[in-house]
Amino acid sequence: MEIRYITKDDNPLEISKIYESSWKYAYKNIIPQNYLNSIPTGQWANSINKIGMNNLVLIEHGRLIGTASFCKSRWEKYSEYGEIVSIYFLPDYIGKGYGRLLLNKCIKELKQCGFSKVLLWVLEDNHRARKFYEKNGFIYSEVFRDDNIGGKDIREVLYFLV
């Protein structure tokens, strides 16, 4: 098992597939199914190398199975925080302990970048993810933001690790 930064040799479509598969699995019954079904192949391929974003991959037995992104907080109010933007896995690898490894690597990298505090946003109805983050020391802040995805109002809630 290896966790490393994305390189130019990594296939963006393969990494995008992790996002696509994870969204369709984790957000079923949260985000409208017709929206999930309409996610095109390669949806995230062009955003993987976004400037200012740090991207990791988790490789098991030579296969990319997970990915994570982190950066300086994108929310001005919390500019002194590091932000974990995403952690996604191929569905067969969810719930097997890999998430904790990738989460801890993100936290470690953010601390090495000088951030002593970390935040992340989670869909309010994604109870599995919320439980995971709480189990790993994140605290629900009661701060939220609203969005609309696929015609459905969606609320994200903010978690802190301090």
Instruction: Give the three-state DSSP class for 134.
Output: helix
**CA distances, 148 to each of 33, 77, 142 (Å):** 14, 22, 19
Domain spans of the chain, in order of start: 2-161
Q: What is the pLDDT of residue 52?
A: 84
* Domain 2-161: CATH class, spelled out: alpha beta
Burial class (CB in 10 A: 0-12, 13-18, 19+), 42: middle
Dump pLDDT digits (tens) for 114-150: 999 999 999 999 999 999 999 999 999 999 999 999 9
The whole-number average pLDDT for the span 72-95 is 96
DSSP 40: P
